[in-house]
Amino acid sequence: MGFFYFLKKKKFYKHLLIAIALTVVLLWVSLKLLNIYTRHGEVYLVPDFTGKTLEQLKQEGFDKYFDFQVIDSVYDDTRPKGSVFMQNPEAGSKVKQGRHLFLTVVASLPEKVMMPNLKNLSLRQAMVSLDLSGLKVGHLEYVDYFARNAVIDQLVDEEPVEPGTELNRGTRVDLVLGKGEMKVFIPMPFIIGKSPKEAIRQLHYASLNIGNEVYMDDDIINAKVYRTEPPFAKDEKLDLGAVINIWYRSDKTFDFENYIHEVLGDTISQDSLTATKNPI
């Protein structure tokens, strides 16, 4: 019997139709199961988990949607220990349920770093060296010395600290600096709208000290400089090592852009008024 013999049989076509039907059904079931398994078309926006601990994320039920995996830790004494410092994917990303979220959290204990030798460096060089070593600038003390802003000594807790000494990352190092041979005055930098880190660095670069820091909102992460004491003025001249008090507000609830224009506008208006009252 040849192949064409089967083409004449109804049973052949009946079995062929059954086979085709079973193939279609199996294909449909497979696609449905695949969609269910991969949750086809069902995506979630990744929230911003910065500042929250893993325990908080679990309490809020986020572990039902994402698989959290801690891959690294960093020390930051301005943030809660164990809180999320960085996440990948970033906030706003679209992912499917069960997606791995890789977290970098704030370490509970700081790592150890070596104290560099800052003696005879300039203030700016010392600040760069401390930053690279994972240390922070503390109080700037000015004493009689011929080289202005030259580092004479380095202190921790008011005690001299030798180069190579192990310190906790983030330790504040006080610097003893020279005044120079001539008395100089420092203009007050404009730091309104700056983050705490930017403001403190700018003040230290200007040979000024940080006094009281007041956070007027609970949102420390988005804090920006709201006002200073003494306030900014173009003709303000300060002594080396003068103390600047800072007040912060959250830029999420306050319009810093318009506020900065107002502050600068008031300063310009006061300068113009002074010039009118005291013509040359």
66-87 pLDDT, tens per residue?
999 999 888 887 788 899 999 9
Residue 7 is assigned to a structural domain of this protein: no
* Stronger pLDDT, 157 or 26, i.e. the higher one: 157
**DSSP notation for 1-52:** --HHHHHT-HHHHHHHHHHHHHHHHHHHHHHHHHHHHHTTT--EEPP--BT-
The reply to whether 208 and 245 lie within a common domain is: yes
Q: By C-alpha distance, which of 76, 77, 78, 83 is closest to 68?
A: 83
The chain-wide mean pLDDT, for the chain, equals 87
Residue 208 is assigned to a structural domain of this protein: yes
> What CATH number has the domain bearing residue 172?
3.30.10.20
The reply to whether 211 and 253 lie within a common domain is: yes
The reply to whether 120 and 166 lie within a common domain is: yes
Please give the pLDDT value at position 13. 66
Q: Is the pTM of this model over 0.75?
A: no
Please give the pLDDT value at position 67. 93
Residue 49 is assigned to a structural domain of this protein: yes
Please give the pLDDT value at position 8. 59
* Stronger pLDDT, 108 or 58, i.e. the higher one: 58
**pLDDT by residue (tens digit) across 126-152?**
999 999 999 999 999 999 999 999 999
The reply to whether 237 and 177 lie within a common domain is: no
The reply to whether 74 and 153 lie within a common domain is: no
Residue 64 is assigned to a structural domain of this protein: yes
pLDDT band at 1 (very low <50, low <70, confident <90, very high): low
The reply to whether 172 and 198 lie within a common domain is: no
Q: In sequence order, what are the beta bridge partners of 95? A: 44
The boundaries of the domain holding residue 210 are 184-275
The reply to whether 163 and 217 lie within a common domain is: no
The reply to whether 229 and 264 lie within a common domain is: yes
**pLDDT by residue (tens digit) across 168-222?**
988 999 999 999 999 999 999 999 999 999 999 999 999 999 999 999 998 888 9
Counted domains in the chain: 3
**pLDDT by residue (tens digit) across 225-273?**
999 999 998 788 999 999 999 999 999 999 999 999 998 886 654 444 3
Residue 78 is assigned to a structural domain of this protein: yes
Residue 6 is assigned to a structural domain of this protein: no
Residue 195 is assigned to a structural domain of this protein: yes
The reply to whether 188 and 264 lie within a common domain is: yes
